[in-house]
Structure 1
Amino acid sequence: MQPPRPAAVNSRRTSRLPRGARRLQLLRAAQDVFVAQGFHAAAMDDIADRAGVSKPVLYQHFPGKRELYLALLEEHVSELADRVAHAMGGTDDNRARVDGAVGAYFDFIDAEGEAFRLVFESDLRNDPDVRAIVDRGTGACVEAIAEVIAADTGLDPERALLLASGLTGLSETSARWWLPRKGTVSRDEAVALVTALAWRGISGFPRVD
């Protein structure tokens, strides 16, 4: 009598990963799917397939598609804010700060995976939680730049925030316009051009010694 055959191994099964590593794997898979399909068209099945895991494994980490999207959005909004804060704190040279702030947006938008689309082009922007996360990240970037502008020029907080908002808007719009054309204009040249434009305006304000 032949011994019973072992049960077939599920081809979707992946090696066991530490919880943090598994969460990161799922976020990266979700990013690919959300960027390619948008929130509304994406399905948890698509994300599980992309990650090479079963849906129960996916649901162990995220109770639903919306929670997964919000976690991913929070991660990338924080990344952009950290990039800008680092640019502001990394030097005392204000032109270098402007260059760093502009460069932070270009690097974020040019990053592999096009995560910037989740932040700036989401089809879920009317969701109050999504809007709150994006606004909080934008506010952090604007405030980091405004603090330097206020300290350097003596402008009151509202006017410094206005100028900082203009710089972040210029940087974001320019970087998004540049991305499909980066084969024509290099990243460094594009950042230098936008920095020169912004610096000519900001440097015109009297400096407080």
Structure 2
Amino acid sequence: MYCIFVGDKPIILTTNIEKETNFKNFLLKDVSIDAVLDTLSKKKIESVRLIHHNPNTILKKFLSKLPNVIAGGGKVYNKNNEVLFIFRNNKWDLPKGKAEKKETIEETAIREVEEETGVSGLKIEKPLQTTYHIFKRNGKLKIKITYWFKMKTNFEGELFPQENEGITKVAWLKEKEIEEAIENSYANIKLLV
């Protein structure tokens, strides 16, 4: 099963057909993205489930319906076990960004964290789950596929928000602060935290 978010509502890719309650079922092979988004916009609907018989190809079939944007990001811990957050578009988020040509996804993740926060000395510890969300840019729908990594750093310097990317604040957050921050965050970030 995969979740692709549109705002805070998920499109769930599944092989199981369940009786509809607060969600709507569609067959993946027959559905249009516009119909899915229209259904998700209804208040009573909490999610859309796209059903496909083969769990091994379900994600690939869905991703072929929209242009893909590949991104990398980090859930970064310092030596005090605080997590690095950014504040952009009036929401708390984790640093991430679009991959550049001839760059591995790990290089993308490290570069984007450095650019968006000013933090250096990053070391990847392990991959985290990949997240998916649909967004509109210049009137066109796209799906962002973000590869996340758990990172560590001993960095103790000043934090610099990348203002030209709309980031207004960068902060190391303790566990209690993280709980508060994710109340004003994105569904994808809540999955990672």
* TM-score, scaled to structure 2: 0.25
Task: Work out which structure has the larger RCO, using CA pairs closer than 8 Å and 6 or more positions apart in sequence.
Answer: 2
Structure whose CA Rg is larger: 1
Structure that is richer in helix per residue: 1
* TM-score, scaled to structure 1: 0.24
